[in-house]
Amino acid sequence: MRNGLTWAVAAAVLVLGMSARASAGQAQEPLEVSAHLQAPANSKGGARNPPAVIWLTPVDGQPMPGPDMSHKYTLLQKNKEFSPHVLVVPVGAVVQFPNADPFFHNVFSLFDGRRFDLGLYEAGSTREVTFGKQGVSYIFCNIHPEMSAVVIALSTPYFAVAEGHGIFKLQAPPGEYQMQVWIQGVDVGELKALSRRVSVSPGHTDLGAISLVYPAAPPAPHTNKYGKPYDNKDSSVY
């Protein structure tokens, strides 16, 4: 009788353990999460939304997968443009800057995310930069003031980019997160105010509206890598 009871208890513990592991596994399945930009009340109808990125950082010690360093990241220079305009990479990623134009480029960034100067390099050649810390880097060309791009290095894989349409879609497992926002042309103080804690669960995958208080700022002038105006050129960039 005692042996029968022991086996019954052991079987029950095994079943409960398997059930708990199954539930935990199900809880970690990623969900389709969404959010959207909401234009300020004084904006004109039909106005195009600025480029924007949101990212979710787990809180309360929730585990997070490591970065995928096998992916190749490229910011192409062609027709005096960077493509894509906004590139999100994991911290530690190497970004290639190939020159596909029939003339020289000089890519640089003097902002806090990653400061660098790749110097002049010719058509058909490439340079690379490692983005070793989290941050936003604004990228320019020292020869062509109309060229601009943004590289955002993140320590979380849960992010989404929205350009024009203002809709964010990403995959993230259930849990508690701190949501942060970057919107081109929006003041840093307002971006910090848009950060908030959010919950993701099977019944709650819509993170709602990210409401802008003011419209994104219009194109602003920038200087060359020496901190001086470009010579006889329009230095307006997005």
> For the chain, what is the mean pLDDT?
85
Residues whose CB falls within 8 Å of the CB of residue 236, separated by 6 or more in sequence, listed in order? 145, 146, 219, 220, 221
Residue 24 lies inside a defined structural domain of this protein: no
Per the DSSP assignment, residues forming a β-bridge with 122 are none
CA distance 105 to 101: 8
Residue 20 lies inside a defined structural domain of this protein: no
Count up the domains in the chain and report the number.
1
Residue 127 lies inside a defined structural domain of this protein: yes
Q: Give the tokens for residue 236.
A: 């307006």
- Domain assignment of residue 88, given as a range: 31-237
208: domain CATH number is: 2.60.40.420
Identify the helix (H) or strand (E) that includes residue 86.
Answer: strand 86-90
The structure's pTM equals 0.84
Identify the pLDDT of residue 46.
Answer: 60
Residue 18 lies inside a defined structural domain of this protein: no
Indicate the DSSP class of residue 1: -
User: What is the per-residue pLDDT across 170-201, written as a single tens digit (0 to 9) for each?
Assistant: 999 999 999 999 999 998 999 999 999 999 99
Identify the pLDDT of residue 232.
Answer: 60
Per the DSSP assignment, residues forming a β-bridge with 93 are 131
Residue 13 lies inside a defined structural domain of this protein: no
Residue 89 lies inside a defined structural domain of this protein: yes
Indicate the DSSP class of residue 217: P
